[in-house]
Amino acid sequence: MKNLKIKEKINKKIPDHIAIIMDGNGRWAEKQGKIRAFGHKAGFEKVKEIIKFSVHNNIKVLTLYTFSSENWKRPKSEVSSLLELFSFALKNEIKNLNKYNICLKIIGDVTYFNSELQRCINYAEKITLNNSGLILNIAANYGGKWDIVEGVKKIVSAVQDGYLNIHQIEEKIFSQYLCTNSLLPVDLVIRTGGEKRISNFLLWQIAYSELYFTDVLWPDFDQFILQDAINDFSIRKRRFGGIIKD
């Protein structure tokens, strides 16, 4: 991550956990007459800027939706370029992750990736495991429905093996069987690119998250727009189904 000029630290209430659906790389490239892979590379540079901002402002967890379980439906050439970029990032950003005390976590079904990429993932997670700053949570080959189904399988197995009584199962217990079991709850979900849907992202985890949508395509997203989203979050009244008295 290059040294970037960033705004002064925000003084308002900030979310502990921000999750971003980074949409619009392909459309951004097409508007410039470029191939979609060009947009993904530009999007990667934007990721580094947003990570730097998150570190500077003491955000505890940043989850980025980089590759969904549905993205395999895209043209093979685009999928290949996305996975090559992912591998490149894992290999070349380790020093910066350690420099900024960032702990990297990957959520999703990584068994679909080739052995080299899986080795890169395992190494990157291992080498940053003891870092105590920002938790950078990358959703790769991830789907919210898949996460829930896998959680159900694990619970069924625990019950069958006698480790868990069926009457013990409640929301808190179920959450412990999801990919995000060790993370703080998601406070704010941001989606770029103009679409206003969740697209199978963290379906269980964002039941009470605040949502923020912007028409800005991901490569044009920046720290100023992120700060606007955080400012908007800071003035919202989060009731969680209850009533807030003035």
The verdict on whether residue 210 carries a ligand-binding annotation is yes
CA dist., res. 13 & res. 206, Å (int): 19
- In the residue annotation, 23 being an active-site residue is answered as yes
Specify the 3-state DSSP secondary structure of 177: coil
204 is in an annotated binding site: no
Q: Is 119 annotated as a binding residue?
A: no
Query: CA-CA distance, 244 to 246, in Å (whole number)?
Result: 6
Tokens of 143: 């789907």
The answer to whether 45 is annotated as binding is no
Q: Which of 23, 57, 141, 147 is catalytic?
A: 23
Query: Is residue 182 a known part of a binding site?
Result: no
147 in catalytic set: no
The residue type found at 223 is Q
What's at 120, amino acid-wise?
C
HSE of 62, CA atoms in CB hemisphere, 13 A: 25
36 annotated as ligand-binding: yes
| 74 labeled part of a ligand binding site | yes
H or E segment and range at residue 87: helix 76-92
Known binding residue 8? Answer is no
Out of 71, 96, 98, 131, pick the active-site residue: 71
| Cβ neighbours for 109, distance < 8 A, ≥ 6 positions apart | 69, 141, 142, 146, 150
Q: Output the six-digit token pair for 229.
A: 């989203």
Do the annotations mark residue 23 as ligand-binding?
yes
Annotated binding residues for substrate, written as ranges, equal: 24-28, 36, 40, 68-70, 72, 74, 191, 197-199
Binding residues for Mg(2+): 23, 210
Annotated binding site, which residues? 23-28, 36, 40, 68-70, 72, 74, 191, 197-199, 210
- The residues carrying an active-site annotation are 23, 71
